[in-house]
Structure 1
Amino acid sequence: MTRFAKWFTKNPVPTVSGALILLSFAVGRIAGGAADLTLTPRWWLDAGEHATDAGTFTISGALMIAAALVAGYGIVVKAARALAVRTVGIDLLVSVAAIGAIVIGNFWEAAAVTFLFAVGHALEAATLNKTRSALAALVAVAPDSAVVLRDGEQVEIPAGQVRMGETVLVKNGAKVPVDGDVVGGTGAIDEASITGESIPVEKSDGDRVFAGTVSRGGFLQVRATGVGADTTLARIIHRVEEAQDAKARTQAFIDRFSRWYTPGVMALALVAGLISGDIVLALTLLVIGCPGALVISIPVAIVAGIGRAARYGILIKGGEFLETSAKITAVALDKTGTLTEGRPELTDIVVLDPAHTRTDVLRWAAAAEAGSEHPLARPILETAAAHGVAPRGIPAEVLPVPGKGIVATVDGAVVLVGNPPLLDQHGLPADAVERAAGAAAELAAAGRTPMIVAVDGAVIGVVAVADRIRTDAREMVTRLHAAGVKRVVMLTGDARPVADAVSAATGIDEVHASLLPEDKLDVVADLQRRGHVVAMVGDGVNDAPALATADIGVAMGAAGSAVAVETADIALMGDNLLRLPEAIGLARRTTRVMRQNITIALVTVALLLAGVFAGGVTMSLGMLVHEASVLIVIVNGMRLLRGAAAGPRATAVAESPQPAEAAAV
């Protein structure tokens, strides 16, 4: 069966109505000849001049009435229900026009108007279903079954019956049925349904996996941490469904406009009919004035835009946020975990006291940091373990000094790890502090975060860590500028030299360093005072105040984070930075389509109204042109479903200061 035939099978009302119209024409041709089958509204009234069987034409007219009743019944019912809640809509305009046409004997006009309106409504419904294809695709990837270990045996059960904490087996080619942590085995998982990335990700012990992803090789044992409606996939489906139903500000305005516009058209038709005495003119104005294309112009674009974004791992909270995203002129980026990978590495060990070796400096730094909760302690401890000098316990005493470092007592020795002000505070010799500060400044200028190490009042060296810059950071900044963003701003708690080094490597326009969380909020507010529409990209924890203040809050790498998926205005499910300019570019394309659709709808109505008063547009012709404009608006909105997402991640960034491997220290 062809696609055309399938469409009519799924839409019986316009199919039956259209068949009755064709049958009416066939009966008229048989009885009166082709000359009688003009599209003059009252062609059957002249039957006596051409035919000997006037009864045949009576049958023809009855078939036209039947066609109008089949197509118009649902329209009249909707109009009546709308009136019951004091709403005057498009259905009422068509109902009045069709009933009026039948009363005055314009059976062809009544049939044509209702048939074309029914076809247009079916096209709109089919289009919205098509634009929701991304949601349907997400639902389709939801797993149906799972293989779990129960009492040492493999048992296949429906995915929804997996219990929290159970071990699920994922074999090659199978869908992952739950969110969970890998507790055994290795494998490659295709996470395109969640993050939009087509390249499979290697998984092993401790890695997270998500329901709806697919194994492309290997064998995994997964401990379930999210089942049923508590999985990332379920939250994504829920969020996309809500977002596609949410109205943009422009759509809300169009809805309010239609509530006044439709009664206005009825009043215009009544006045025109009373003044001219031409009932056909009044009924034609009702049909011509239908704002159908205007009403469908925004939803088709919004649903297509949000659906297209979801297909590539970009969750947009709703039409309002899609519309706001199109106006973004400044993007504020947190450095750690956004511009950088969020996993610092020890890159340098500088010896300042000839009595000590690099290993000594590393051992003392690790011994002190063993009692620290600071994120920069981890790379020091990992490197110490790799070199066989890991601390055997925790220091006897650890005193964090906010903004300066830590003071620890290790084997009876007082160890300082921090910046020059920490050394000054403990009265270390000025010349030693100055020499250490110089070494630290050189490391900071290269994009490292330095920490001076002193033992019992003597400066022995400096260790430095660096968070590796993402390879696609510079490309992201370039694409943001190309998408129309004027200012790309970096916000970080790191020292100014480190921030400047990252800025130089990525092409950031503006840098704000040494910030506390509340300081980031102030920077975002200042950008807004300068007239910018601001998007803030962060991890949603220490950046929460700035994310809440920004016009659009963007969560990076939101897969698996229920809070980010539910609360972020835009959630980028993967860690691909290039999705950010893709999201802004898609928002701008969507709003352009919305404006084009509104223009098409309004111009069509204006031209048709002018044609009616000029005497060249009939009721049926007007409805035909009107439905053609609806089709044009639909096709224009559907363009948003085409095209590729942001390109693959860049493989390198020229002159990016990448830290040395930890093994080289």
Structure 2
Amino acid sequence: MNRVKAVWHGRWTVPGLAGGLIVVSLLLTRALNLPGWGDLTMIAAAVVAGTPVLIKAVRALLNRVIGIDLLVSIAAIGAIIIGNYWEAAAVTFLFAIGHALETATLNKTRSALAELVAVAPDTAIVLRDGEQVEVAAGAVAPGETVLVKNGARVPVDGVVIGGAGAVDEASITGESIPVEKTTDDPVYAGTVATGGLLQVRATGVGADTTLARIIHRVEEAQDAKAKTQTFMERFSTWYTPAIMVLAVVVGLITRDVTLALTLLVIGCPGALVISIPVAIVAGIGRGARDGILIKGGEYLETAARIDVVAVDKTGTITEGRPRTTDVIPLDPDLSADDVLALAARAEAGSEHPLARPILEAAAERGLTVPGLPEHTEPVAGKGIVAVVDGQRIAVGNRALLTAEGVPGPEVDRLDAVVTELAAAGRTPMAVARDGRLLGVVAVADQIRADAAEMVEGLHAAGVRRVVMLTGDIEPVARAVGDAVGVDEVRAGLLPEDKLDAVRELQAEGHVVAMVGDGVNDAPALAAADIGVAMGAAGTAVAIETADIALMADDLRKLPQAISLARRTVHNMRQNIAVALVTVAALLAGVLFGGVTMAIGMLVHEASVLVVIGNAMRLLRRPRERRRTRRGSQPVAASSVNASGSRSLINS
């Protein structure tokens, strides 16, 4: 019974029945010479195909909307009244076919959403009281341990607490290369284990998973209207009554009812109405497949006009994980390991972000750092002073050395070292013991392997300027900017300074995209025309608040997103041109003779299919020019901003 209902309400049922009745009518009239029965069958075909159209027209009128369905209904009823049964049946039949094809194609363009829904797992294997229990994915409680075996879909968001393996995260990030997972690594619902066995502590279940948030965002985005779409809908609300008035005027002047009815059919703005939404749905669907979440049609249109991209440095251009690059002893009695060991012992009690790379470097060299210092004293804007084995160890900038009583001539010896390290983008810190200079330790953040490719890709996508905004000092910021090829570097900025920079660029007439981590950069992200969140997988706030969220932590997705937006808007314009040219040509053909109601409807429906087919091209992944991947470069910077720089010794 359910199957019968499904067939009866299927998209092809009405055009199939109407088409069959038209064939029977032609046979009765021409083969069996029964014109009366043929006319009745043709009317039946028009009624079958036209009834759904008439119902939609009436419902629209009740909501004070005059649309394409009303035009077709009036034309078909009028054709039956004046005895043009074939035209009535042909118009409604072709309209029914066009509607069915339109629905089928729109469903195709929404396939990205269907694919996301399809990857959502139904069941999970949970460890309860030491036993493996299979439960519904939504029944897993946060904190429970879930087993993910080779080939299985991860049923929850969580953190690996045991085991090791590889996970294909293409459904979340758009990247097809599996990612190795070990203890403390995050995993996301809907991804697929391609090897190993993972024990995962559930942190997000059901609607709280990254996959669920993505599905929700794509649903909203595909339904959201662009400014162009809103304009076209307003245009069609005036255009449709205008066509009706034109048909009445022409009918009164020419006394030709058939001509007036034909004008109604030919003037249908179907291709025009669908030209924008089908492109938006296809563009957003393509982006979702590639791990690019676009908030809606309005943001898609704005992204297509971006000509300046502002990027944060730490965590965006760089990896945000500084490491020790240089240890330079300045005391002839000490080795590099001696200087590093003393710095590490002092930093063992520090909470400063540059302490970690020093401690990690000491560990890599096998240097022992026993316990914490007897006393640790952070000195704001200068560095840190610690008491180690009764000795006073200072690690920091020139001002700290002066405060610790290091003689001026010794401090002056640093200038050449500082200049060289700063020019290379490193962040030097002096190490002194009991008022005597021992050496310099320098750290640097890693420039991301794909940063230069991102800048190159943005320029290729039509972005005029790439501006790096950072709180780091000028020499370090300049070294990073030169390494990745940005057009402009603005250093020493506080969060409010980044906001001012974005507004200044907008005041110059630019459409600005801001890329950042959504925390320190929040004001600038909010002020920009388009805010972009990087590596948003698992970050609910980023997914919900960013205009564009790049699910993979891959900078090359940014130019890909802008290129997609430009292609989508270009596709919209092509569709509008096709629709307007078709309607204009058909109206001219009717007014000057030669175009009948049936031919006009056939051409009209063909234009609808052309528009839809053109939009579907967006679903294909564009060819990308080959690029050479570059390795990470240790040429960047401290994470210290201008308000508390401890970075350069002579700052």
Secondary structure in 1 matching 2:600? helix
Decide whether the 8 Å contact of 2:309 with 2:463 is kept in 1. Answer: yes
In the alignment, is residue 513 of structure 1 matched against residue 491 of structure 2? yes
Question: Quick one: which amino acid aligns to residue 14 of structure 1?
Answer: P
Deviation at 1:409, TM superposition (A): 4.2
In the alignment, is residue 252 of structure 1 matched against residue 253 of structure 2? no
Which stretch shifts more, 437-446 or 126-135? Answer: 437-446
Q: Which residue pairs with 1:41 in the alignment?
A: none
Deviation at 1:394, TM superposition (A): 5.0
Deviation at 1:427, TM superposition (A): 5.2
Q: Which residue pairs with 1:25 in the alignment?
A: 26
Decide whether the 8 Å contact of 1:304 with 1:637 is kept in 2. Answer: yes
Decide whether the 8 Å contact of 1:576 with 1:649 is kept in 2. Answer: no
1:489, 1:242 → 2: CA distance?
A: 31
1:220, 1:648 → 2: CA distance?
A: 35
Q: Which residue pairs with 2:85 in the alignment?
A: 107
1:462, 1:399 → 2: CA distance?
A: 18
Secondary structure in 2 matching 1:147? strand
Aligned length in residues: 629
Deviation at 1:282, TM superposition (A): 1.4
2:501, 2:403 → 1: CA distance?
A: 31
Deviation at 1:356, TM superposition (A): 3.2
- Structure-2 change in CA distance of 1:391 and 1:95 (3 Å): farther
For 1:467-546, what aligned pairs fall within 5 Å after superposition?
467-546=445-524
Q: Deviations over 1:208-232 (max 9, x none)?
A: 1111111111111000011111011
In the alignment, is residue 243 of structure 1 matched against residue 221 of structure 2? yes
Q: Which residue pairs with 1:148 in the alignment?
A: 126
1:423, 1:323 → 2: CA distance?
A: 55
Which stretch shifts more, 380-389 or 602-611? Answer: 380-389
In the alignment, is residue 393 of structure 1 matched against residue 375 of structure 2? no
For 1:167-186, what aligned pairs fall within 5 Å after superposition?
167-186=145-164
In structure 1, stretches of 5+ residues that fail to align are: 1-5, 33-55, 660-665
- Structure-2 change in CA distance of 1:256 and 1:10 (3 Å): closer
Question: Quick one: which amino acid aligns to residue 186 of structure 2?
Answer: R
Secondary structure in 2 matching 1:280? helix
In structure 2, stretches of 5+ residues that fail to align are: 1-6, 637-651
Deviation at 1:649, TM superposition (A): 7.7
- Structure-2 change in CA distance of 1:59 and 1:512 (3 Å): same
Question: Quick one: which amino acid aligns to residue 337 of structure 1?
Answer: G
Q: Which residue pairs with 1:116 in the alignment?
A: 94
Deviation at 1:490, TM superposition (A): 1.1
Q: Which residue pairs with 1:43 in the alignment?
A: none
RMSD: 2.0
Question: Quick one: which amino acid aligns to residue 651 of structure 1?
Answer: R
In the alignment, is residue 15 of structure 1 matched against residue 16 of structure 2? yes
Q: Deviations over 1:432-457 (max 9, x none)?
A: 22222431221121121222222332
In the alignment, is residue 263 of structure 1 matched against residue 264 of structure 2? no
Q: Which residue pairs with 1:3 in the alignment?
A: none
1:183, 1:436 → 2: CA distance?
A: 47
Question: Quick one: which amino acid aligns to residue 27 of structure 1?
Answer: L
Deviation at 1:561, TM superposition (A): 0.4
1:541, 1:400 → 2: CA distance?
A: 25
Q: Deviations over 1:629-663 (max 9, x none)?
A: 00100110000011347578843259x5569xxxx
Q: Structure 1 residue aligned with 2:418, among 425, 440, 444?
A: 440
Q: Which residue pairs with 1:46 in the alignment?
A: none
1:646, 1:195 → 2: CA distance?
A: 18
In the alignment, is residue 423 of structure 1 matched against residue 424 of structure 2? no
Question: Quick one: which amino acid aligns to residue 214 of structure 1?
Answer: V
Question: Quick one: which amino acid aligns to residue 398 of structure 1?
Answer: E
Deviation at 1:499, TM superposition (A): 1.5
Deviation at 1:337, TM superposition (A): 1.5
In the alignment, is residue 298 of structure 1 matched against residue 299 of structure 2? no
- Structure-2 change in CA distance of 1:515 and 1:555 (3 Å): same
Q: Percent identity?
A: 68
- Structure-2 change in CA distance of 1:647 and 1:236 (3 Å): farther
Decide whether the 8 Å contact of 2:156 with 2:188 is kept in 1. Answer: yes
1:589, 1:644 → 2: CA distance?
A: 10
Question: Quick one: which amino acid aligns to residue 226 of structure 1?
Answer: G
TM-score normalised by the chain length of structure 2: 0.93
Deviation at 1:566, TM superposition (A): 0.9
1:497, 1:63 → 2: CA distance?
A: 85
1:437, 1:238 → 2: CA distance?
A: 57
Q: Structure 1 residue aligned with 2:526, among 535, 548, 554?
A: 548
Decide whether the 8 Å contact of 1:297 with 1:597 is kept in 2. Answer: yes
Q: Which residue pairs with 1:631 in the alignment?
A: 609
Q: Deviations over 1:206-265 (max 9, x none)?
A: 111111111111111000011111011111111111111111110011111111111111
Deviation at 1:385, TM superposition (A): 3.2
Secondary structure in 2 matching 1:188? strand
1:624, 1:601 → 2: CA distance?
A: 14
Deviation at 1:422, TM superposition (A): 3.5
Deviation at 1:408, TM superposition (A): 3.8
Q: Which residue pairs with 2:645 in the alignment?
A: none
TM-score normalised by the chain length of structure 1: 0.91
Which stretch shifts more, 13-22 or 427-436? Answer: 427-436
2:149, 2:479 → 1: CA distance?
A: 45
Decide whether the 8 Å contact of 1:370 with 1:395 is kept in 2. Answer: no
- Structure-2 change in CA distance of 1:72 and 1:419 (3 Å): same
Question: Quick one: which amino acid aligns to residue 103 of structure 1?
Answer: I
Deviation at 1:127, TM superposition (A): 1.0
Q: Which residue pairs with 1:50 in the alignment?
A: none
Q: Which residue pairs with 1:37 in the alignment?
A: none
Q: Which residue pairs with 1:45 in the alignment?
A: none
Decide whether the 8 Å contact of 2:444 with 2:634 is kept in 1. Answer: no
Q: Deviations over 1:34-83 (max 9, x none)?
A: xxxxxxxxxxxxxxxxxxxxxx2111111111111111111111111111
Q: Which residue pairs with 1:226 in the alignment?
A: 204
2:625, 2:178 → 1: CA distance?
A: 16
Decide whether the 8 Å contact of 2:346 with 2:376 is kept in 1. Answer: no
1:395, 1:515 → 2: CA distance?
A: 36
For 1:588-599, what aligned pairs fall within 5 Å after superposition?
588-599=566-577
Deviation at 1:495, TM superposition (A): 1.8
Q: Structure 1 residue aligned with 2:109, among 131, 135, 139?
A: 131
Q: Which residue pairs with 2:646 in the alignment?
A: none
For 1:227-376, what aligned pairs fall within 5 Å after superposition?
227-376=205-354
Q: Which residue pairs with 2:588 in the alignment?
A: 610
